[in-house]
């Protein structure tokens, strides 16, 4: 699975977005080390605060399926700008996927950028802090 294929799966997931309030569709595709892909999309709620982002739906689906080793997550939206994960999603991805995760983001021109999760959430809080 290459980055472009993972991005295509993030775009396909975007079509499953439930975003009647923001009308801002986001899709994610999370790749495990053994080649499985878990898709996610944002799911909104009339009580806005309980909305969940695409990245977290993908990460939770993967965790529930018993996966603990990941390579990359691709994120797609309809925006002309690059969409990077929100702070809450960065924290969840750090916990479930680890700091070496490749975060692949796209913009409306089809351009691609890639970051390590550690670049997006440096000096993160994690289980290491609870046990020290």
Task: Please say if 55 is a catalytic residue.
Answer: yes
Q: Is 91 in the site for ligand THU (CB under 6 A)?
A: no
- Nearest in space to 13 (alpha carbons), one of 71, 78, 90: 78
Q: How far apart are CA 14 and CA 71, in angstroms?
A: 20
Q: Rounded to 5 degrees, what are φ and ψ at 96?
A: -95, -25
Q: Is 53 in the site for ligand THU (CB under 6 A)?
A: yes
Indicate the residue among 4 and 86 with the shorter CB distance to ligand THU. Answer: 86
Half-sphere exposure of 7 (CA within 13 A, CB side): 19
Q: State which of residues 11, 42, 67, 106 lies at the interface with ligand THU (CB under 6 A).
A: 42
Q: Is 51 in the site for ligand THU (CB under 6 A)?
A: yes
Q: Is 32 in the site for ligand THU (CB under 6 A)?
A: no
Catalytic residue among 44, 55, 69, 119: 55
- Nearest in space to 115 (alpha carbons), one of 80, 95, 81, 85: 85
Residues at the contact surface with ligand THU, assessed by CB under 6 A: 19, 22, 24, 26, 42, 44, 51, 53-55, 83, 85-86, 89
């Amino acid at each position: 699975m290459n980055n472009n294929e993972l991005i295509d799966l993030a775009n396909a997931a975007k079509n499953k977005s439930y975003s009647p309030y923001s009308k801002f569709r986001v899709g994610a595709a999370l790749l495990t080390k053994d080649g499985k892909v878990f898709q996610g999309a944002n799911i909104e709620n009339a009580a806005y605060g309980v909305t969940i982002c695409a990245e977290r739906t993908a990460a939770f689906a993967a965790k529930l399926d018993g996966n603990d080793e990941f390579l990359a997550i691709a994120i797609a939206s309809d925006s002309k700008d690059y969409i990077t994960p929100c702070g809450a999603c960065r924290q969840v991805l750090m916990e479930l996927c680890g700091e070496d995760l490749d975060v692949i983001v796209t913009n409306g021109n089809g351009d691609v950028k890639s970051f390590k999760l550690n670049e997006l959430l440096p000096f993160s809080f994690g289980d290491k802090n609870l046990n020290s």
